[in-house]
Structures are given as structure tokens and as C-alpha cells.
């Protein structure tokens, strides 16, 4: 739970080319378009890492909707 989240160093890559800072986050960053256009992806990866929450806060809000675990990369 929360203890794991504080040390998590993972990003999620969705099946359709978006990076998520956290499995439980609804924030997404479009890495597919950056790769296709030749845009450097390091700034996008840094932005995604910076968006990582300190914890998942499952007790305070529901899980994100709209994607199943297979699409999120979980």
C-alpha cells in the first residue's frame, strides 16, 4: 500500500502509447506521438516522473476509470 508507493520507481506504459506516473493515476503523457515525430522523450519521461504521487490515496478517492488493467500495463 502506502509504504510501497513511497519507494516505487515505476512508470506504466499503456497499450496505446501513453506513460502513466502511477498505476492508480489518471494522468497520462503521450510518448507514442513523441517517438513517431522524433521529439526527444527524456523531457516527457521527466515530466511523468515528476507527476508521481507520494501514495495511491485509495482510501480517499476511487480508482481511475476508463481503462482496464491490461491497457494500463499492470
Q: Write the pLDDT tens digit of every residue in 20-29.
A: 998 778 889 9
Q: How far apart are CA 26 and CA 6, in angstroms?
A: 18
The structure's pTM equals 0.72
Q: Which residue has the cell 515530466?
A: 47
Q: How many domains does the chain have?
A: 1
Q: Write the pLDDT tens digit of every residue in 35-50.
A: 999 999 999 999 999 9
Q: How far apart are CA 49 and CA 42, in angstroms?
A: 10
- Domain containing 8 equals 2-72
Amino acid at each position: 500500500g502506502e509504504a510501497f508507493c513511497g519507494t516505487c520507481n515505476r512508470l506504466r506504459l499503456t497499450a496505446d502509447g501513453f506513460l502513466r506516473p502511477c498505476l492508480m493515476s489518471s494522468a497520462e503523457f503521450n510518448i507514442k506521438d513523441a517517438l513517431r515525430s522524433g521529439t526527444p522523450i527524456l523531457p516527457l519521461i521527466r515530466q511523468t516522473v515528476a507527476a508521481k504521487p507520494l501514495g495511491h490515496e485509495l482510501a480517499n478517492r476511487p480508482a481511475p476509470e476508463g481503462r482496464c488493467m491490461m491497457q494500463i500495463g499492470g
